Amino acid sequence: MKKIKIGIFGCGTVGQGVIKVLNDFGALVEQRSGCAIEVARVVDRSLKEGECPHLDFKKVSKESDSILNDSSIDVVVELIGGVEAAREFVLAALSKGKHVVTANKALLAEHGAEIFQAAKKADCDIYFEASVAGGIPIIKALREGFVANHIEAIYGIVNGTCNYILSKMQESPASFNDVLKEAQEKGYAEADPTFDVEGIDSAHKLCLLASLMSGQWVDLNKISVEGITSLSNEDFEYAEMLGYVIKLLAIAKESKNGELEVRVHPTLLEKKHPMANVSGVYNSIYVKANPVGDALFYGRGAGAFPTASAVVSDIVDVARNIVSGTPNRIAPFWKSAREKKLKAPEKVESEYYLRFSVVDTPGVMGKISSILGKQKISISSVIQKERNEGEVVTVVVLTHSASKLKLAKALSEVDALEVIHQKTRVICLEREN
Annotated catalytic sites, by residue? 205
Amino acid at 331: A
Angstrom CA distances, 359 to 236, 364, 386, 412, stand at 22, 8, 12, 17
The C-alpha atoms of residue 80 and residue 87 are separated, in whole angstroms, by 10
User: What is the full DSSP assignment across 43-94?
Assistant: E-SS--TTSSTTS-GGGEES-THHHHT-TT--EEEE---SSHHHHHHHHHHH
The C-alpha atoms of residue 220 and residue 200 are separated, in whole angstroms, by 10
Cβ neighbours, 10 Å, residue 143: 17
Amino acid at 63: E
Angstrom CA distances, 361 to 367, 372, 429, stand at 11, 18, 28
Distance between terminal CA atoms of the chain?
50
The C-alpha atoms of residue 211 and residue 363 are separated, in whole angstroms, by 49
Q: What angle do CA 227, 306, 313 make, to 5 degrees?
A: 115
Cβ neighbours, 10 Å, residue 212: 23
The C-alpha atoms of residue 264 and residue 287 are separated, in whole angstroms, by 16
Which pairing describes strands 2-9 and 75-78: parallel, antiparallel, or unpaired? parallel
Specify which residues 75 forms β-bridges with. 6, 99
Which pairing describes strands 99-102 and 126-127: parallel, antiparallel, or unpaired? parallel
